[in-house]
Structure 1
């Protein structure tokens, strides 16, 4: 494991990021669409994809516990991208910042999620929304700058609190 090598080289604080809830991403919602409403959660996202991501994140957290036992003098932290991002997606959806829905791409064309795999953002004729700050997803695959800023702020606050650090 790379983490073990980093610790053996002298790292005393290691942060391992979990995976994001990609069952909310426009490219997944478009490419793995289902006609069965039971396949979606209350926000319209694919449950099976997010269930798989949660299993993977649980496995990572178990691996972190094993690493912590192997290296008791090293601080090893799990960065919870899943719940941090999920919270921000809900916040965007509930606040109504994007009247088209929190799950739609800012830059894209076609379909419910403004994503079409054969016409990527930047291709001729593919429009960009007038205010990317009102969207969570940029092109169906990546977050907007605003979403990335909100996500990094949330993760930094959680990390600093866990490390007993202050920002002043």
Structure 2
């Protein structure tokens, strides 16, 4: 929503509607007999190179200690909190089902706060995308990954791949965390 020119306030006001749609779809599947379900949260939007590039702020207090735009991360945190509450309610309604909340927010912020601890390389900043068209975060909407002349880093061990998605390395760590319970409640 934010990327579509809507305000942060508007996006935040729509979070309950989005979560309600997710919950409705989940409830429908559970009524049909699904016994195992994974509902993922959202990533820290304010840490995406695309958001950091498009919505750059001259005000240093708009950024958290990692360098992410806090008001966009607030949208993610709000969504994830409401989704987790909805999952608890679904679990009460369907006590025989296993409904897992899969967290993206925590691992991504951990990777960005301590990238070398997780084996990520840092090209000046952990917020810089591997594949992109230049700029402070290696993101340029006019020169995106896959276009002619846009280069990827030689060893994609950064956290972010293209300004929006994360690298295979990041997703592997997250998936392992979901399986062992580090980033999923209950483990997948």
TM-score tier by shorter-chain length is 0.7 to 0.9
Structure 1 residues 53 and 160: alpha-carbon distance in aligned structure 2, compared to 1, 3 A threshold: closer
Task: Give the drift of 1:85.
Answer: 2.1
Is contact 2:41–2:104 with CA below 8 Å preserved after alignment?
yes
Aligned residues: 164
Alignment-derived partner of residue 159 in structure 2 = 136
Unaligned segments of structure 2, at least 5 residues = 1-23
2:91 is the alignment partner of 1:68 = yes
Unaligned segments of structure 1, at least 5 residues = none
Q: Give 1:57's match in structure 2, choosing from 67, 80, 91.
A: 80
2:162 is the alignment partner of 1:117 = no
C-alpha distance in structure 2 between counterparts of 1:160 and 1:63, whole Å: 18
Alignment-derived partner of residue 127 in structure 2 = 103
RMSD: 2.3
TM-score using structure 2 length: 0.78
C-alpha distance in structure 2 between counterparts of 1:28 and 1:136, whole Å: 15
Task: Give the drift of 1:145.
Answer: 1.5
Structure 1 residues 20 and 35: alpha-carbon distance in aligned structure 2, compared to 1, 3 A threshold: same
TM-score using structure 1 length: 0.87
